[in-house]
Amino acid sequence: MNGPRALEPLGDGAVLLHFGDRIDAAVNAEVHAAARHLAALDLPGIVELVPAYASLAVVIDPSQWQADGTTPAQHCIAALTRAFAAPFAATATESAAIIDIPVCYGGEHGPDLAEAAARSGLTETAFTVRHAACGYRVAMLGFAAGFPYLLGLDAALQQPRRANPRTRVPAGSVAIGGLQTGIYPRELPGGWNLIGRTPLALFDAQATPPNRLAAGQRVRFRAIAADEFAALQARAR
């Protein structure tokens, strides 16, 4: 891995590192490898690293990046360019841990499962088995606090977004939009296909950290029955 293709200042408080221009697992893996690389370097003045599908935002403290004749962002860009002067390993220090997400598929928890399975030419059972068998990675958090965009969906399970988005999607809903799977962290509007629901709380503003999942983590889904869903949900309250 040879580092970002371009570095763009975002005012004086951040720098955006571009690694590509599309949703691609290999590009996203490079983004997360770059984030780990920068975190390990522990450069002064970096406040936060925010990975996206094909870019990495480096949030900086401008007061720590002053230099004669340059803006803080320009000074930071020069330091980041030096940081990526040599190739870095895509898998260095990558966590092997897999986060287990229990999901009750179909029925009231997944009202779009039957239609999604029919579009894919599968039974509901076959569809859920294939969905749970995939290995996923949290590509990024976005849309709403704690919402994980997951890469790794079986291409046979991809679904078009709903023609009529819902105004209220229940918290914990597991959904498919295109080649992505996501989990709604709280009740929100949304146009993805709802195939199941997890009883886990993905976002808690009072917790540290507030997000259950973090960008770059590996995730797998585990199918559960409705009674286990109810028990886990009651325990989470």
Domain positions in the chain: 6-83, 98-236
* Cβ-contact 90, 29 below 8 angstroms: yes
CA distance 237 to 234: 5
* Cβ-contact 154, 130 below 8 angstroms: yes
pLDDT band for position 236 (cuts 50, 70, 90): confident
CA distance 14 to 43: 14
State which fold the 6-83 domain adopts.
Gyrase A; domain 2 (3.30.1360)
User: What predicted TM-score, i.e. pTM, was given to this entire model?
Assistant: 0.88
CA distance 100 to 221: 6
pLDDT in tens, 101-137: 999 999 999 999 999 999 999 999 999 999 999 999 9
Percent of the chain topping pLDDT 90: 79
Number of H helices, E strands in the chain: 5, 13
**CATH 2.40.100.10 holds for 98-236:** yes
